[in-house]
Every structure is written in structure tokens, then in C-alpha cells.
Amino acid sequence: MSAETRMDGKVCLITGATGGIGLETAKALGRLGATVVLVGRAPARTQAAVDAVNQSVAGARVDTILADLSSLQAVRALADTFRSRYSRLDVLLNNAGLIIDRREVTVDGLEATFATNHLAPFLLTHLLLDTLKASGPARVINVSSDAHYVGKLDLTDLQSERRYDGFRVYATSKLANILFTHSLAKRLEGTRVTTNAVHPGTVRSGFGHNTQGFFRWVVKLGGPFFLSAKSGARTSIYLASSPEVDGVSGKYFFRCRQRKPSAAARDDALAEQLWRESARLTGVQP
């Protein structure tokens, strides 16, 4: 990293930071001088992530907040805790995500994949927007996936009650990430906050190992050919720190370059419909 990408004095909040690309991103941003706030669900894994950052970065400024992002109440508590500790937020990295075989319902009565992968970042970003705007220039980064190309957003069945396929539901949540990025970018025009989505590549990590179906076999057989978590984190690090993307917003990136997402991901009407429904489900102003 070149000297101009130093992030001394900046604060970065990273969800899904206890392993994989989230943890590697935290290490890299810590090396650049940023204060990194790691969000994890399990206390032991979260503390292990802190230890890993401290081992990787001499004098690291690292903090943690525990939150189960499948719960809207927990997302609100996360935002409250962050605001009570910090007066600024320079980078919000919505990195947490999951894929599960069988349909599960959260404490809010929502389908778990959609709630965790889309509604959580939608709500968290909304709750922290004032802090981001006051800290500008600031950046929101949403970790999506090229899986979105096979996603299909059915606004009449966002909770996948009629049909559930683990990978398809995951892919649709990644499509929602890009649609959210698109709508958010429009709403942020005229502010000093930008937002972009990223495909990290197919990364060799713990992701998907909890599944039992076809995707588990893809992970198991293809794992030796996948990217390392360190390689998968490069584009997230780039979007968080590089001056090359100053002012760039509403785009989709892979390998530190813009790429064209699916036609569905570029559908303005669909993006706005999803925004309104997401606002209703999370109880925020549309």
C-alpha cells in the first residue's frame, strides 16, 4: 500500500470480522493506521479475531462489538453501542453473510438468509448514516457476490415461504445487496458518502461448511482452487482505502476494477421496490 492510502485517525466498522475476508480486511486496515471495530456473534471467536489483529499489527487500535445480525433489535443495539463509543465513522464494511440449507426463521419472524444478508446491512447503514455524513468523506462497502447472477428477487415472496433452495436464496440476497447499493448511492448524491458493492471472488474460508447439500460439495471439492481469504479481501481493502475511488459510488467491483452486474441488479424500479419493502420490514423511513 502506498503512503497516500494511510488511514490514521479513521474509524472502520466491519461486520463478519471474526474470520475469512472480514478478518483479513481488518488486519490490512489496521496496518494502515485505522481504528478497526470488529463485529462478531460469538465472544470466543471475536476475541480470537482481536488477538489475530494484534499479532499482525504492532500497536493495533482494535475494538469489538458483539451482535447477532439476524436480529433487528441486535442491529439497533449494535448501532447504539457504536455511536456511544465513537463520534465518527469513515468506513462501514457490511461483510457478514451466511448460507443455510433449510429455511430458518429469525426472532423477528423473517427468513434468516434474507434478514442477515440484506436487512441487517440495510438497517445498520440507515442507523449510522448521520455519523457517516458527519465524518465525510466516508464509504459504505457491501460485500455481494457473482452468485447474484442466478438470484431472482420475487417481491411477493421475499421470505421464501413458497419455495426454498439454500443457494438460490443466498444468491437472491446478494442481488439485494447490489440493488441496495444502487438505491443508496442515489440517495447519497450531494453528500460526501459513497457506497459500492464488491464480489470478493470464490474464497477458501469457513463459509458454506455448515451446509449439507450441493453447495457443501462445491466448497469441499473446489476449495483447493479457491482464493485465499487474504486475496479475497483485496477489493474490500481497496474500496475502503484507495484514493482511486474517491467520489465513485453505486458501482460493483471485482479485483479492484468495476464490472457490470446482472440486468436485474441494474433495474431501477426493482431497486426502489426493494428499498420500500426493506424500510417497511425494518421500521425505518423509506
Give the model's confidence band at 202: pLDDT under 50 very low, under 70 low, under 90 confident, else very high.
Answer: confident
Q: Which of 86, 170, 238, 252 is catalytic?
A: 170
pLDDT of residue 39: 98
Q: What is the pTM of this model?
A: 0.91
Q: What is the 3-state secondary structure (H, E, C) of 112-162?
A: HHHHHHHHHHHHHHHHHHHHHHHHCCEEEEEECCHHHHHCCCCCCCCCCCC
Indicate if the pLDDT at residue 3 is higher than 70. Answer: no
Q: Answer whether 117's CB lies under 8 Å from 170's CB.
A: yes
Q: Which helix (H) or strand (E) holds 193?
A: strand 193-198
Q: Is residue 286 part of a domain?
A: no
The arrangement of strands across the sheet holding 251-254 comes to 61-66, 35-40, 11-15, 91-94, 138-143, 193-198, 251-254, 257-258
pLDDT tens per residue across span 74-83:
999 999 999 9
Residue 130 lies in a domain: yes
77-85's contacts with Cβ under 8 Å and 24+ in sequence apart are 78/39, 78/124, 79/124, 79/127, 79/128, 82/13, 82/37, 82/128, 82/131, 83/128, 83/131, 85/37
Closest CA to 4 of 244, 268, 266: 244
| Selection from 200, 210, 208, 209 nearest residue 236 by Cα | 200
Contact 126, 81 (CB under 8 A): no
197's torsion region: left (phi>0), alpha (psi -120 to 50) or beta?
A: beta
C-alpha to C-alpha distance for 270 and 252, rounded to whole angstroms: 17
Q: 176 CB contacts (<8 Å, ≥6 apart)?
A: 114, 117, 118, 151, 153, 274, 278
Residue 71 lies in a domain: yes
Instruction: State how many domains the chain has.
Output: 1
Residue 62 belongs to a domain: yes
Q: Does 285 fall in a domain?
A: no
- CB contact at 8 A, 1 and 256: no
- Reply yes or no on whether 170 is catalytic: yes
Of residues 208 and 188, the one with the higher pLDDT is: 188
pLDDT beyond 70 at 2: no
Tell whether the model's pLDDT for residue 282 goes beyond 90: yes
Report pLDDT for 231: 85
User: Domain residues for 238?
Assistant: 3-280
List, for residues 221-262, the tens digit of each pLDDT value.
334 444 587 888 999 999 999 999 999 999 999 999 999 999
Which H helix or E strand runs over 13? strand 11-15
Examine residue 93 and state whether it is found in any structural domain, yes or no. yes
d(CA 233, CA 157): 33
Q: What is the CATH number of the domain that holds 76?
A: 3.40.50.720
Average model confidence (pLDDT) across the chain: 91
Instruction: Please report the pLDDT score of residue 223 as a whole number.
Output: 40
